[in-house]
Amino acid sequence: MSLQKQQILNKEIDSFDFQSGGEASSDLKNILRKLGVPSKIVRKTAIITYELEMNVVIHSLGGEITALISEDELEIRVDDSGPGIEDLDKAFTAGFSTASDEIREMGFGAGMGLVNVKRYADQIDVKSSKDAGTHVKVIINLAN
Amino acid sequence: MTRKHSVLLKEEKCEGCTNCVKGCPTKAIRVHQGKAWIKEDLCIDCAECIRACEYHAKYTKTDQLEKIVKTSDYPVLLIPPSFYSQFSAEISSQKIKKAIQNLGFRAVFDVAEAAAALSRKTLDFLNNNQGSYISTSCPVIVRLIKLQFPDLIEMLIPLKSPVELIAERIKRKFKEEKNINPDIFFLTPCPAKLTTVNRAIGQKESFLSGAIGVENIYQKIYESLADIELKTEAGRVITLATIWGSEGGEEGILKSWQELNTLSVSGIKEAKKLLNEIERNNIPDAIRYFELTSCTNGCIGGVLNVINPFQAQFNLEERIKKIREITQAHNLDFEKDDDQFYNFALSESITADNVSKLDSDFKKAMQKLEQLQKEIDILPGLDCAACGAPDCKTFAEDVVNGRASRADCIFMLRKQLGKLADDLSILAHELPPVMASQKEESDDS
Ligand code: SF4
């Protein structure tokens, strides 16, 4: 049974804001260190959060990221408004990307985003459909 | 006395400005009662504060030559590759070494020899292991990783630094061959190497007995050079691995042998940025090796050096050209039999310095985190550093940890004073009933 989770981070993410993209993941990393979360988990979280954050920057019209924690679980929620993901199965396939050429030229959008997130997350739930935005919920186990 | 750190404060010179506080990459400095104190558990000896201080209040105290020569029976000095950047390439390395030895050392050795061997070993390691690795040679970088990027510790290549490698080998050799226990000193370009004498990295103990700063003996060496007559330019020419003294030297050697994706970055700020990107997997996996040095331009940028880093870079490059001319070899040897005499592996694992925790109990840490957020919210967010901390967030953390009081912030103090003044004036108008009625009466009349 998981205890009541408390919110430790809530941040807006702007579309195409590459300057501040990555700030939420840095903030969350610092918070987890302050809470004494083991470094392996901090790293996982940093990777996941950064991927999700950049997804919002690159693919959506903006969104927000929220992190909640209890002693045994960390929950990261990323909600954006935007085109959504038409084919979720495809989005979980390595190398599949809908990033524009412009974005690819910048070195982003290699299509590892969600695949990477799935690799590091203990649970992942993605809700999305065309034009309904994307809503990702990731769980990382802290207990043991 | 074993000091934990080599960067120290000269109290009488400190004016209490916050230049060093702001520039410290680990936020280790706080101005307290007008003096900029360093928190030992956070300092990584990067020397940024020495560079930042206009009043020369931050300094490093390395060993004194006179004392070493007087007290040691068998002092040996190790010369780093970067030291040769302090002289024009016209002055032969043999001459420089002779001048150093004349100061009173029984023998001098080039650390570059071990650097060459380490390069060969590193390539061997990379070819036999998967994944990406970070060089362990700069002690500041290792300390930074231990402190702020503990999850990257596993990326540190588990091999000794060139200085420790050669020190260990010499110790063993002298013991075996001559039954002598030499005291080995390092001619250091930076405070951090001095710190490793007392706090070795990945080893139980350092093989060094001490370290002398380049600035301590440079003048003496320089002045004596003119008097040194070498019959022939006896002794071997220094190795091409002397290029290790400047940024990219190490990776250049690796690449001269084999096609390899490597990356070199120098300067503590840049190094921090890179580590941050590595941490969130935002750097291609294809990069197998990272050469990171805390000082801009690599060891030639060390704060204890005498020559400016630009000239030093030029000198070093000229010297490399010379070595190539003399040895008729463009690249460093890829194989050398005597590498087997080095003991490359670190004997202990490198551990994290866990100091960022608010509390070791999760619930208490959560409470403190909440408190911290509240504290941050009420502060003005100007990061003026007048409180003595580098920025409002760090100050808030100090308050939560009971190391500072909210009124240390002048804005909070002003607010409190303002409130006090308001309260006072309200109080002043609330006259006691007896007096108040008298007043009313007199008003009526
Ligand atoms: S040496 Fe570096 S880490 Fe230590 S107090 Fe100075 S600036 Fe900070």
Instruction: Single out the residue of B44, B21, B25 nearest to residue B272, CA to CA.
Output: B25
Q: How many CA atoms lie within 13 A of B141 on its CB side?
A: 33
Residue nearest to atom 3 of ligand 1 (CA): B43
Do B87 and B190 belong together in one domain?
yes
Q: What pLDDT, on the 0 to 100 scale, is given for residue B364? A: 95
* DSSP summary character for residue B226: G
Strands (E), B189-326: 210-213, 262-266, 289-293
Q: Which domains does chain A have, with CATH numbers?
A: 6-141 (3.30.565.10)
Dist. CA A29 → ligand 1 center (Å): 23
Task: Tell whether the model's pLDDT for residue B14 goes beyond 80.
Answer: yes
Dist. CA B60 → ligand 1 center (Å): 11
Do B192 and B242 belong together in one domain?
yes
Work out which ligand 1 atom sits closest to the CA atom of B45.
1
Lowest mean pLDDT among A36-45, B122-131, B226-235, B245-254: B226-235
Tell me if A50 and B282 make a contact (CB, 8 A cut-off): yes
For β-strands B75-79 and B107-110, DSSP reports them as: parallel
Instruction: Single out the residue of B17, B26, B12, B25 nearest to residue B53, CA to CA.
Output: B17
Do B49 and B84 belong together in one domain?
no
Q: Is residue B329 part of a domain?
A: yes
Cα distance between residue A68 and residue A139, in whole Å: 10
Do B123 and B146 belong together in one domain?
yes
Do B46 and B70 belong together in one domain?
no
Residue nearest to atom 2 of ligand 1 (CA): B46
The best mutation among B10, B24, B194 to test binding of ligand 1, ranked by most ligand atoms within 8 Å of the C-beta, falls on B24
Do B281 and B175 belong together in one domain?
yes
Which residues lie closer than 8 Å to A78 by C-beta, 6 or more apart? A13, A52, A53, A55, A56, A63, A64, A65, A66, A134, A135, A136, A138
Task: Tell whether the model's pLDDT for residue B148 goes beyond 90.
Answer: yes
User: pLDDT class for B435, splitting at 50, 70, 90?
Assistant: low
Cα distance between residue A99 and residue A107, in whole Å: 10
Do B49 and B89 belong together in one domain?
no
Token digits of residue B404 = 């500072």
Tell me if B151 and A50 make a contact (CB, 8 A cut-off): no
The residue from B61, B76, B108 where one domain ends is B61
Work out which ligand 1 atom sits closest to the CA atom of B50.
6
Cα distance between residue B287 and residue B263, in whole Å: 7
Of A11, A25, A27, A35, which to mutate for an interface test with B (greatest number of B Cβ within 10 Å)? Answer: A35
Q: Is residue B311 part of a domain?
A: yes
Work out which ligand 1 atom sits closest to the CA atom of B191.
1
Distance from CA of B369 to the nearest CA of A (A): 8
The DSSP bridge partners found for residue A124 are: A138
Q: What pLDDT, on the 0 to 100 scale, is given for residue A98? A: 65
Signed CA dihedral, B104, B110, B114, B117: sign only = negative
Tell me the range of A107-116, B296-305, B436-445 where mean pLDDT is highest.
B296-305
Residue of A nearest to B281 (CA): A47
Report chain B's mean pLDDT, rounded to a whole number. 92
Task: Tell whether the model's pLDDT for residue B16 goes beyond 80.
Answer: yes
* pLDDT tens by residue, A12-28: 988 888 877 889 999 99
Q: Ligand 1 pocket, B26 CB below 6 A?
A: yes
What is the domain-level CATH number for residue B397? 1.10.15.40
* pLDDT tens by residue, A53-102: 988 888 888 899 999 999 999 999 999 887 777 777 777 766 666 666 66
B47-65 exposure pattern, b = at least 16 Cβ within 10 A, e = fewer:
bbbbebbeeebbbbebbeb
Task: Tell whether the model's pLDDT for residue A130 goes beyond 50.
Answer: yes
CB atoms within 10 A of CB B74: 14
What is the domain-level CATH number for residue B37? 3.30.70.20
Tell me if A22 and B357 make a contact (CB, 8 A cut-off): no
Element (H, E) at B114: helix B111-128
Q: Ligand 1 pocket, B28 CB below 6 A?
A: yes
Mean pLDDT of B350-365: 91
Dist. CA B58 → ligand 1 center (Å): 9
CA dihedral B148, B150, B152, B158 (to 10 degrees): 120
Residue-by-residue DSSP string for B52-75: H-TT--EEE----HHHHHHH-SSE
Q: Is residue B351 part of a domain?
A: no
Q: Is residue B231 part of a domain?
A: yes
Domain enclosing residue B7, as ranges: 1-61
Do B57 and B70 belong together in one domain?
no
Q: Is residue B291 part of a domain?
A: yes
What pTM was estimated for this model as a whole? Answer: 0.89
Mean pLDDT of B423-445: 66
Tell me if A42 and B151 make a contact (CB, 8 A cut-off): yes
Q: Is residue B358 part of a domain?
A: no
Tell me if B357 and A50 make a contact (CB, 8 A cut-off): no
Q: What percent of chain B is modeled with pLDDT above 70?
A: 95
Q: Is residue B403 part of a domain?
A: yes
B7-28 exposure pattern, b = at least 16 Cβ within 10 A, e = fewer:
bbbeeeebeebbbbbbbbbbbb
**Interchain CB contact of A40 with B (< 8 Å):** yes
Q: What pLDDT, on the 0 to 100 scale, is given for residue B445? A: 41
Q: Which of A25, A39, A71 has its CB closest to that of B362?
A: A71
Contacts of A43 in chain B (CB under 8 A): 151-152, 279
Mean pLDDT of B155-179: 96
Which residues lie closer than 8 Å to A108 by C-beta, 6 or more apart? A54, A58, A99
Task: Tell whether the model's pLDDT for residue B1 goes beyond 50.
Answer: no
Residue B132 near residue B285 (C-beta atoms within 8 A): yes
Do B286 and B328 belong together in one domain?
yes
Q: What pLDDT, on the 0 to 100 scale, is given for residue A101? A: 65
Do B128 and B269 belong together in one domain?
yes
Do B18 and B120 belong together in one domain?
no
Q: Ligand 1 pocket, B43 CB below 6 A?
A: yes
Q: Ligand 1 pocket, B21 CB below 6 A?
A: no
Tell me, what amino acid is at B327? T
Q: Is residue B211 part of a domain?
A: yes
For β-strands A63-69 and A6-13, DSSP reports them as: antiparallel
Instruction: Single out the residue of B190, B245, B197, B196 nearest to residue B213, CA to CA.
Output: B190
Lowest mean pLDDT among B179-188, B208-217, B230-239, B326-335: B230-239
Tell me if B281 and A36 make a contact (CB, 8 A cut-off): no
Residue of A nearest to B352 (CA): A39
Do B201 and B173 belong together in one domain?
yes
Please tell me which residue, A8 or B235, carries the higher pLDDT value: A8
Which residues lie closer than 8 Å to B405 by C-beta, 6 or more apart? B399
Element (H, E) at B109: strand B107-110
Task: Tell whether the model's pLDDT for residue B235 goes beyond 70.
Answer: no
Q: What pLDDT, on the 0 to 100 scale, is given for residue B306? A: 97
User: Helix B111-128 crosses helix B249-257 at what angle (to 10 degrees)?
Assistant: 50
* pLDDT tens by residue, B378-418: 999 999 999 999 999 999 999 999 999 999 999 888 888 88
Contacts of A51 in chain B (CB under 8 A): 281
Task: Tell whether the model's pLDDT for residue A112 goes beyond 60.
Answer: no
Domains contained in chain B, number: 3
* pLDDT tens by residue, B411-432: 888 888 888 888 888 888 887 7
Dist. CA B213 → ligand 1 center (Å): 17
Phi and psi angles of residue B265, each rounded to the nearest 5 degrees, phi first: -140, 135
How far apart, in Å, are the Cα atoms of A140 and each of A9, A71, B154?
15, 11, 21
Distance from CA of B151 to the nearest CA of A (A): 5
The best mutation among B5, B26, B138 to test binding of ligand 1, ranked by most ligand atoms within 8 Å of the C-beta, falls on B26
